Structure 1
Amino acid sequence: MTHPHLNFRIEPGLRSEHRAQAAAGYWNAFARKLRYPLGPQRRAIAFVRRVLDSSHAISAVSVDGRFLGVAGFKTPRGAFVGGDFADLVRVYGPFGAPLRGLLVSILERPCEAGTLLMDGLFVDASARGSGVGTALLSAVESQARACGLERVRLDVVDGNPRARALYERQGHRARSTESIGVLRYLFGFGSVTTMLKEVGEPPPHAVPA
């Protein structure tokens, strides 16, 4: 899908030459909540770059090939930022990996039937305000429909009102908000709101209300 008036296109996956920039962008976007699980910055970016799964990504790329942003998603088969304990050991060593694995597990969200779970969306600073974020969200919805799923789910923390405003403009609605209690001092946010958008066609047997 090309957007000539904005000079960028949306494409499936993540180009190999964009992995380093995507890893750094992911860290910049989510460092507030990941600083303890994955920091310091140098190691965090190395870990994210190592585990990025391009099959669970949708990218925004300028017409001249520059990386502009990415939307990741999670399925029962994997996640945009996945990896396992062995990957943590390779980056943080046998003594640093166990605690980080525990902290990362606290942030894990399970997949739900009929739902595409978003696994991070960010736009490069040079492309903000140009419609890239909106285009990536639309592409995620198309991905969900192509997979035969009915809705898109995302979670937004209380310290990110700009992102929540974007999601609401695109039709995502809050389903629930949960406080994380004393863990707020560890992850840098106090609550997380789950948002949903219905994207699938109604099943053939559905009876209109």
Structure 2
Amino acid sequence: MRLVAGTLNTDRILVARRGGEIAGLAGFVADGRGPFSISQEAWTREHGRIGGALRAAALAVARLASNPRRGDLYVEMLRARERKRGEGVGALLLQGLDAEARRLGKGRIRMFVDVRNAAGRRFYERHGYRLVRTLSLPVVGRLFHHGRVDLLVKTLDGPP
């Protein structure tokens, strides 16, 4: 948590609430700005000079590997609390991402899903996402535990 303290870009984070508590979060990147603005110094402070540099580079490679384009919104994270799953939290967050993408003038939404997360992939596909390709990211995998990922894309058709 020290790493992200003071680095949040709240306009790039969606929060879903159920029963007065936070039920889920989604963070996205648009126009080069994401949910966190973590400096190289912060990475170094948290993980040392080499570890910090590797993690910062791996995150940059992961963002580039999604093949971001100016007209895209990239989902960096989407999480629903375990006890809130099955209550529509994920669908609510996806609707919010659709709305944000449209508000920002984006025509597509992209995300990575770990290849081991078959249930997650099926969930996203039910909401209009399609598999573009599977990528191997060995450095990212070693540091963030996502070595093989599916790149999913949803094309937006205009206002809801």
Cα contact 2:73–2:110 (8 A) shared by 1:
yes
Whether the 8 Å CA contact 1:76–1:111 is kept in 2: the answer is no
| Aligned partner of 1:180 among 95, 112, 137 | 137
Residue pairs, 1:8-27, within 5 angstroms: none
Number of corresponding residues: 157
Write the deviation string for residues 121-171 of structure 1: whole angstroms up to 9, x where unpaired.
Answer: 001112111000011001101111111211111111212112111101101
CA-atom RMSD in angstroms: 2.5
TM-score by length of 2: 0.83
Give the alignment's TM-score, normalised by structure 1: 0.65
Are positions 1:139 and 2:96 aligned together? yes
Following superposition, the deviation at residue 70 of structure 1 comes to 0.7
- 1:57 matched residue in structure 2: 13
1:80 aligns with 35
Please, which runs of 5 or more residues in structure 2 have no aligned partner? none
1:171 counterpart = 2:134: no
- Percent identity between matched residues is 28
Residues 89-108 of structure 1: pairs in structure 2 closer than 5 A = 89-94=44-49, 96-108=51-63
Residue 58 of structure 2 contacts residue 139 of structure 2 at CA under 8 Å; is this kept in 1?
A: no
In our comparison, the structure showing a higher alpha carbon Rg is 1
Preserved contact between residue 111 and residue 117 of structure 1 (Cα < 8 Å): yes
